[in-house]
Amino acid sequence: MNCRNFNKRINRFIKKDLSTRELASFLVHLKRCDECKEELSIKYLVDKSIVDIDDDNDETIDRQHKYDFNFRLKELIKDSEDHVISVIKKNSIINMLFIISATVYILALYVLFF
């Protein structure tokens, strides 16, 4: 992902609206591009300070960190990373199960026909 694509996806990242694939390349770019990291912090700050003013009942925001936008952005990035990692793990388990069942199937054919 380049900076232009990254910037186009910032709003959807903040709304947790990126697909896992998009999220993964978004996070990779974020790790290595300081300009985009800065851009994300600014947009996050603007977005959250507008939204949260009339959003006092949001129980998901812990009070202590409600106005600590840096902290909340870090949490969002960490949660996103955890999400991507858990999807990758789940997919590799599914792939492994597929390989095992394909192997069993081929062995069964072999036993039946040879």
**4 touches 26 (CB < 8 A):** no
Whichever of 10 and 84 has its CB closer to Zn ion, that residue is 10
Whichever of 33 and 87 has its CB closer to Zn ion, that residue is 33
- The region of 14-22, 26-34, 79-87, 88-96 touching Zn ion under the rule CB under 5 A is 26-34
Q: Is 33 in the site for Zn ion (CB under 5 A)?
A: yes
Q: Is 30 in the site for Zn ion (CB under 5 A)?
A: no
Number of neighbouring beta carbons within 10 Å of residue 48: 19
What string of H, E and C letters represents the secondary structure of 56-110? CCCCCCCHHHCCCHHHHHHHHHHHHHHHHHHHHHHHHHHHHHHHHHHHHHHHHHH
Q: Is 36 in the site for Zn ion (CB under 5 A)?
A: yes
Shortest Cβ 58–Zn ion spacing (Å): 30
Number of neighbouring beta carbons within 10 Å of residue 23: 20
Shortest Cβ 76–Zn ion spacing (Å): 18
Contacting residue, 3, 42, 85, 88, with Zn ion by CB under 5 A? 3
Positions touching Zn ion (CB under 5 A) are 3, 33, 36
